[in-house]
Chains A and B, each alone.
Chain A
């Protein structure tokens, strides 16, 4: 399958890229890893008149932890880079766990975290992970930058909050309010398939309690679901067998799964409960060992 015809531009700076988007006036689209956009173009779900390929903008190829503890991921940072990242292994367990489960190893060499957020697929792993962390997307347009919380960034399936002349240049995870702990689990029928269900948990732990909690769900609703009630239970009551069981039930209750070829709604809801409980039990167990 060939994609439809398009003009191709490969700018070397963000300013140049934004200029091209302004010129395109809604008919141009940014190409980063292309692992979702190119298949969408081949199947005619997308047919932009111009592609602005940002792969030549080397300034966007980074991820780092800043002095305040926040983590910043540039628009060209590939999944594979995050999978091998010492920064994430040391400081951000939820992202580290998810980075090895996105798509398959070959796709991970090309695809990017920020691109995955922009694609706004309710089945996207990173959307749930970044929502559980309370992360934001930095959008750059002709008049400067604005910060968009991940939860407001996906406005619908495959629709994001960017204006036509804006580029998502980075995603930022705010500094933790304690020791960051967490995990990501997903059920997939085979490597590279979309999630049957996925659960991202991120906790900031301090003084034996839970200072902040985030739980978000992949593939069990029309959009990434943030299980606020489940997270609130953990902040209020900390981690004990009862609070874990209750939070897991609340997370399953927040899911809005539909029966399809990947499984029944009941099955997917069950997966959410089991995954949530499994991640929380592991966190509780490891902190007992440490103490």
Chain B
């Protein structure tokens, strides 16, 4: 609250189911009172104003809304916001600070891994989860890990190269071993 008061509606016969949730988003605990039917993607975009998470198909197909839920990629359009209560969420805003780039973001820049950029946040979070558990993936493993994220403009060639670029940057020694 920015001041000493908050204007709230008068008590009515309101029977809309609501819950208070506290979610750790990009390392910061954040709370909101929400309708139980609110989806996680709405909580992030509308309540917390983190609009880096994109909503694409809204039908669990495209992966644009992918965020990390306790470190694992999930489609935030297919999870209720109340289910995130007490859990940790990483969105694209949490990859790096405002004036720096995460190696994965740098990789997408260097290798032209995006055109319109709509699928990119989801792609990068799936890539992060992959590199967190497998720092030196081969091309098949990268394509497999990203197979739930659809891109409709560039094709996947440069996206794969971007992830390879990031893997080399994050693990320079392993990258050299592979090239030898």
Contact = CB atoms under 8 A, between A and B. Distances in A.
- Could you tell me the dominant secondary structure of chain A's interface residues? loop
Q: How large is the interface on B (under 10, 10 to 19, 20 to 34, 35 or more residues)?
A: 20 to 34
Nearest to B78: A38
Given A5-B37, A6-B36, A8-B17, A106 B63 contact: yes
Which of B39, B59, B69, B78 counts the most A-chain CB atoms under 10 A from its CB?
B78
Which 3 A-B pairs rank lowest in CB-CB distance, beginning with the nearest?
A: A104-B148, A106-B148, A8-B36
Given A34-B80, A103-B148, 8 more contacts: A3-B37, A7-B36, A8-B36, A8-B82, A34-B83, A106-B63, A107-B60, A192-B61
Interface of B: 16-17, 19, 35-39, 42, 58-61, 63, 66, 69, 72-75, 78-80, 82-83, 126, 144-145, 147-149
A109 B38 CA distance: 21
5 contacts: A4-B37, A8-B17, A55-B83, A109-B69, A192-B148
Interface residues of A, number: 29
A110 interface: yes
A53 interface: yes
Nearest to A36: B60
Contacts of B59: 39, 42-43
A35 interface: yes
Interface in A79-119: 80, 103-107, 109-110
Contact of B80 (A5, A8, A106, A192): A8
A195 to B, nearest CB: 15
A109 B35 contact: no
Interface of A: 1-8, 10, 31, 34-35, 38-39, 42-43, 51, 53, 55, 80, 103-107, 109-110, 191-192
The interface centre, meaning the residue of A39, A80, A106, A191 with most chain B CB atoms within 10 A of its CB, is A106
